[in-house]
Amino acid sequence: MKTDEMPTCEIDSNMLVNFDKYTYPKTFNSNVGVINSYFKGSLKRALKSENINAIGAITPAKEVIGFCTLTLSDIDKAAAQAGIDDKNLPSRVPVIRLVMLGVDVNYQGLGIGQQLLMEAFKQAARVHKEIPIKGIYLDSAPNAVSFYEQLGFKPIDAPDINQSTPMLLGIKVILQAVAAS
């Protein structure tokens, strides 16, 4: 599909409601093995069991071409302080965890990942209004670290054994991005 213009797709902020109305192409390929495996083997099951919230990029033909999954979590105070400028933190810091974010290669580079992330930011802002959180945490694949850094995420620890880099974006930055959108 590669074009310079934005493809027609809808961002579904709560895939759980409609997940059985969508098709999940077996050809989905984000170029990241763990994301592809999750999409093909676990995404629908996780939605059914309500273990995660998923945001989807959906074509007019109801195909899922991108997704991001979120859950509540917490991280250690020392790790959080490496990523946000807040000294008054509890020992376990409440965050939204971005578990997976993937866009099919045929649609990459068109802003779909950024749209999915902006919806994740909006959800984090809504949660923060009700129950304060300190940001969004994720484990970035090696080839995505610069993408997340450009959005303001900061590495909070060295890459793990799988070369995933733990990263954090503080709630203040998220709230500013949502206000500007």
Q: What proportion of the chain, given as a percentage, has pLDDT over 70?
A: 96
Helix (H, G, I), strand (E, B) or coil at 8: coil
Q: What proportion of the chain, given as a percentage, has pLDDT over 90?
A: 68
CATH topology of domain 10-180: Aminopeptidase (3.40.630)
Gap between the Cα atoms of 78 and 154, Å rounded: 14
Report pLDDT digits (tens) over 111-150. 999 999 999 999 999 999 999 999 999 999 888 899 899 8
Of 86 and 170, the one with more pLDDT: 170
Report pLDDT digits (tens) over 159-179. 887 788 999 999 999 999 999
**pLDDT for residue 49:** 87
Gap between the Cα atoms of 169 and 160, Å rounded: 19
**pLDDT for residue 54:** 94
Gap between the Cα atoms of 160 and 178, Å rounded: 31
Angle (CA) 100-103-109 rounded to 5° is 130
With 90 as the cut, is the pLDDT of residue 30 above it? yes
- How does DSSP classify residue 63? B
Helix (H, G, I), strand (E, B) or coil at 165: strand
With 60 as the cut, is the pLDDT of residue 3 above it? no
Gap between the Cα atoms of 43 and 117, Å rounded: 18
